[in-house]
Structure 1
Amino acid sequence: MNRRTVFLTTLAVTTALTLTACGSDEPDTSAKGGDKATEATTPSSSASTSASDGRPKIELPADIKLTFEGGETGDPVKDAILADNAERMRAVDAAITGTDPKGEALAFYNTGKALEAALNWVAEFKKAGASMTGEIRFYDRKVTLKGEDSATLIFCADESKGFSKDRKTNKIHKTPVTKNSYLLYNTRLDKNTDGVWQTSQIISTRGAAQCQP
């Protein structure tokens, strides 16, 4: 349930600190990663996304790049879920890096246990005096509808090029690429009254076999 394997040097401790970003009431983890992603990427792989329909504008620092594969399935509902999930992941990183200090986008795209977990995750970075840099790729994204207003989304993340950095010195804490650089996410999303697919539950498994290159 880790999202970054960092902070050893940041915290000046002798054992690596792994941080948790998940709720205790998780969706079913028995599901597999699903179909291979298409070559398409969402517009949110850029440094910022424009506000529309009352949605918050999310900006990321120039040294952060998030890529989301398989954003278009041909099903408008599934595409909306994939798009809001991408914004959710961007919102977390915007809060971590300080481009959304009030966490407005974080609260917009998360609810319940997922919001609590995201806030705790951001707080851990702040406590450690750390930010993040590099590239993260999200792939093998599979949506399963559970009704008109609920769905599960399982996907993988490649964090082999993503690292933490010291907020004061900007020193990047690079870590070697291992099987733990790849994560499996299992999430639940619920559509709110404004039509936003908010993540309500999230767990992640580092080193998952189905996410290995």
Structure 2
Amino acid sequence: MNAPQPFQEPTVNSRPTSLTTLALTVSAALTLSACGSDDDKAGRTQAENGNKPTSPSASAAASPDRPKIELPPDLTLTFEGGETGDPVKDAIPADSAERMRAVDAAITGTDPEGKALAFYNTGKALEAAQDWVAQFDEAGATLTGEARYYDREVSLRGEDSATLIFCADESKGFSKDRKTNEIHKTPVTKNSYVLYNTRLDKNADGVWRTSQIISTRGAAQCQPQTT
């Protein structure tokens, strides 16, 4: 059974590639309908590993029933920046990070019912995320390694809508066969770096849920700087 690329979700019309090409796009970027158009050493890390939740956002206080997300110990997600001191703008990347972790939790089996997946995604984004998880399940694949998210920029579009653009370094993330635990490593290329353009909408409980997301592999602005 062929499987999709591990982290970056395919376009609507694309088909899964072979298991050996699964690259760890730990958040499994859902390429849905368009929503808009190196390491930041000064940025703060919101989540240093897959089992450590991000810092509570402003919206978290108003939503005490948020699902607890845990990831396996061999999967690490790091989110840099995202804290500006503005409670509204800070809540958006915080909820986006939880959404990334939720997708991976569903893929790796730590959230088999997809409760967090449904909590942080809505509409077509939710449908695509569920389909993406199903493809991994059918392929007998899971995720392992590391992924780093950086250069996160928020733009508000009214009180209840926003866009969040960010980069991902997926060069250290890979797919893994569930039965044999064989890790399918892939070489590091410019396509190991991905630009994500997402839209989030705030629901009645104050949670910023991802509704649209597009991804561009090999984007120039996400490439590591060379000296």
Range into which the TM-score falls when normalised by the shorter chain: 0.7 to 0.9
Match of 1:42 in 2: 46
Cα gap change, 1:69 to 1:112, in 2 (>3 Å): same
Match of 2:36 in 1: 28
Match of 1:180 in 2: 191
Following TM superposition, the consecutive aligned residue runs of length 4 or more in structure 1 with deviations greater than 6 angstroms are: 17-20
Contact 1:45–1:68 (8 Å) recurs in 2: no
Q: Distance in 1 between matches of 2:94 and 2:104?
A: 16
Equivalent of 1:80 in 87, 91, 95: 91
TM-score, length of structure 2 as denominator length: 0.81
Match of 1:89 in 2: 100
Q: Distance in 1 between matches of 2:210 and 2:41?
A: 21
Q: Which amino acid aligns with 2:44?
A: A
Match of 1:209 in 2: 220
Q: Distance in 1 between matches of 2:146 and 2:223?
A: 17
Q: Provide the alpha-carbon RMSD of the alignment.
A: 2.5
Q: Please list every run of 5 or more consecutive structure 2 residues that lacks an aligned counterpart in the other structure.
A: 10-15
Contact 2:191–2:218 (8 Å) recurs in 1: yes
1:8-19 matched pairs, under 5 angstroms: 8-9=18-19
Contact 2:82–2:153 (8 Å) recurs in 1: no
Match of 2:12 in 1: none
Q: Deviations over 1:135-193 (max 9, x none)?
A: 00000100000011000000011000000000001100000000010100000000000
Q: Which amino acid aligns with 1:28?
A: G
Equivalent of 1:70 in 81, 84, 107: 81
Give the total of aligned pairs: 201
Q: Deviations over 1:116-137 (max 9, x none)?
A: 1111111111111100000000
Range 121-130 or range 133-142, more displaced: 121-130
Contact 1:20–1:121 (8 Å) recurs in 2: no
Q: Distance in 2 between matches of 1:188 and 1:167?
A: 32
Match of 2:13 in 1: none
Q: Is 2:152 aligned against 1:141?
A: yes
TM-score, length of structure 1 as denominator length: 0.86
Range 116-125 or range 136-145, more displaced: 116-125
Contact 2:105–2:111 (8 Å) recurs in 1: yes
Match of 2:174 in 1: 163
Shift of 1:20: 7.5
